[in-house]
């Protein structure tokens, strides 16, 4: 039994025939075929020219411009660079934080494109992707994870354009998280940094202006709020409310650095879940209150931490000073950065309450606490997270028992998320540290 003629695939055409049109003045040729459109229907398409060859060429040109030719704008024979260009164009239209877009493009430019720019999409096999990710993992877990994320974004985009039958990343081996990495600051490290912050540039013979204590206070407030550095630098007096039971801050902006514009306060938070009201640990609230007391009533809309010109402090400059604290505290080689204050807060809250509470407090998506948790914030915000942070991290009489508990797998996932989500908050911290 014969299977018959194979059906024309969607986005392709059948055999081309050419007929001659005899006219009094000249002879023309019409090339004809049937094209199977994206809706599955077969429809006639034709083109006329002065010769057999020209008619065939005109018809093929017409087919190339027809919507759906080859199943879409991409197909397995398309070069990887064609996918990259279309994805970049799509990225520009998406409502994503500029810092996130920048980091995506940098990961693409530095790591992914050099590895695959000479392949077609059909040549991007699971084996080739696996080998690439193994090489990336040999450099660092973080780099491999970012590259895997980029490839998933690209290939899922290709899937939506019917360019490939499956995402080759899906069959690759899970990335092995390095074990034994420090998860949080210890009380000894915190004490050493506090001492360094209080004594930095205070000895005899130090030239230049005396320290204004801003970075010292920033470190304290970060410990007592687990805010991102950009979120803290964006806080204004109007974002802070003191109640009978404690201080509440409303996170609704972030300070960012953008090429060509410099440092400025962005009037929206990093992500929708970053917009939140959180209680402040009492030891950090006291520091914040002292800063507020120095500001006038006409400065309610100005950032609490500002330069001499009244503009927001640069996260880069804050980090640079903090690294000098680390040198003075003999912690230069420890790998500690300001982001560790968030990791420390996440650790305290995850072990003292739950991973879900930690995620919500830090501004990550979580279903552990309902929307009602933040209704009528002045009365209804639960102060328990601030109490845990205060008991564990306050300058005097700190109880480090929560930091000494073993961490869970869920807690490690949340700490990984801190690194992944926060890396683009105000620029790559590693690049900043190397500057």
Least Cα distance to 273 among 97, 93, 92 occurs for: 97
Per-position DSSP letters for 209-262, written without gaps between them: SPP-SHHHHHHHHHHHH---HHHHHT--GGGEEE-SS-EEEEE--EEEEETTTE
Identify the DSSP state of 128: H
pLDDT (0 to 100) of residue 380: 67
pLDDT (0 to 100) of residue 433: 36
H or E element at residue 429: helix 429-434
d(CA 318, CA 243): 30
145 phi and psi angles, rounded to 5 deg? -65, -40
The SS3 of residue 378 is helix
Give the global pTM.
Answer: 0.67
Mean per-residue pLDDT for 219-239?
95
Identify the DSSP state of 180: T
The separation between the first and the last C-alpha atoms of the chain, rounded to the nearest angstrom, is 74
Average model confidence (pLDDT) across the chain = 84
Per-position DSSP letters for 311-349, written without gaps between them: SBPPHHHHHHHHHHHHHHTT-GGG---TTHHHHHHHHHH
CA torsion sign for 326, 331, 333, 338 is negative
pLDDT (0 to 100) of residue 131: 97
**Residue with the larger pLDDT of the pair 165 and 218:** 218
CA distances from 407 to 49, 177, 182, 223, 389 (A): 75, 14, 11, 19, 17
Would you place residue 425 in the very low, low, confident or very high pLDDT band (cuts 50, 70, 90)? very low
**Residue with the larger pLDDT of the pair 344 and 24:** 344
Residue linked to tokens 């993992």: 137
Would you place residue 421 in the very low, low, confident or very high pLDDT band (cuts 50, 70, 90)? low
pLDDT (0 to 100) of residue 124: 93
**Residue with the larger pLDDT of the pair 431 and 35:** 35
Contact call for residues 369 and 166 (beta carbons, < 8 A): no
pLDDT higher than 60, residue 368? no
Q: Which range among 65-74, 98-107, 308-317 shows the weakest confidence by mean pLDDT?
A: 65-74
CA distances from 12 to 66, 131, 326 (A): 10, 34, 64
H or E element at residue 121: none
Q: Is 11 left (phi over 0), alpha (psi -120 to 50) or beta?
A: left
pLDDT (0 to 100) of residue 429: 42
d(CA 9, CA 69): 10
Would you call 24 exposed, middle or buried from its count of C-beta atoms within 10 A (0-12, 13-18, 19+)? exposed
Contact call for residues 9 and 36 (beta carbons, < 8 A): yes
Q: What percent of the chain has pLDDT over 70?
A: 85
């Amino acid at each position: 039994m014969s299977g018959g003629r194979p059906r024309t695939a969607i986005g392709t055409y059948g055999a081309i025939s050419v007929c001659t049109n005899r006219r009094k003045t000249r002879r023309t040729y019409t090339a004809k075929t049937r094209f199977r459109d994206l809706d599955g229907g077969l429809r006639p398409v034709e083109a006329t020219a002065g010769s057999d060859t020209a008619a065939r060429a005109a018809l093929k040109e017409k087919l190339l411009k027809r919507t759906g030719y080859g199943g879409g704008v991409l197909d397995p024979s398309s070069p990887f660079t064609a996918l990259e260009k279309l994805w970049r164009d799509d990225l520009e239209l998406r409502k994503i934080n500029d810092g996130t877009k920048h980091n995506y493009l940098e990961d693409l430019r530095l790591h992914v494109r050099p590895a695959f720019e000479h392949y077609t999409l059909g040549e991007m096999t699971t084996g080739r992707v696996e080998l690439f990710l193994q090489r990336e993992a040999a450099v660092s877990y973080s780099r491999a994870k970012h590259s895997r994320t980029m490839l998933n974004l690209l290939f899922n985009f290709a899937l939506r354009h019917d360019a490939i039958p499956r995402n080759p990343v899906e069959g690759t081996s899970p990335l092995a998280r390095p074990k034994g990495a420090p998860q949080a600051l210890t009380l000894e490290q915190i004490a050493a940094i506090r001492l360094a912050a209080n004594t930095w540039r205070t000895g005899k013979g130090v030239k230049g202006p005396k320290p204004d204590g801003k970075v010292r206070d920033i470190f304290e407030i970060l410990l007592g709020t687990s805010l991102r550095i950009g979120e803290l630098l964006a806080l204004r007096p109007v974002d802070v409310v003191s109640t009978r039971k404690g201080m509440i801050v409303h996170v609704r902006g972030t300070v960012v650095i953008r090429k060509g514009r410099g440092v400025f306060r962005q009037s929206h938070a990093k992500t929708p879940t970053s917009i939140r009201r959180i209680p402040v640990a009492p030891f950090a609230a006291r520091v914040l209150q002292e800063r507020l007391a120095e500001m006038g009533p006409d400065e309610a809309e100005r950032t609490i931490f500002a330069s001499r010109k009244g503009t927001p402090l640069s996260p880069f400059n804050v980090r640079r000073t903090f690294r000098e604290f680390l040198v003075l505290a003999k912690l230069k080689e420890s790998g500690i950065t300001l982001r560790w204050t968030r990791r420390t807060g996440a650790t305290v809250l995850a072990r003292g309450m739950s991973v879900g509470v930690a995620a919500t407090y830090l501004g990550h998506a979580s279903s552990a606490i309902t929307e009602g948790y933040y209704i009528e914030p002045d009365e209804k915000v639960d102060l328990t997270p601030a109490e845990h942070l205060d008991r564990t991290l306050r300058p005097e009489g700190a109880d480090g028992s929560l930091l000494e508990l073993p961490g869970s797998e869920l807690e490690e996932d949340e700490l990984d998320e801190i690194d992944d989500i926060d890396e683009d908050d105000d620029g790559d911290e590693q690049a900043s540290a190397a500057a």
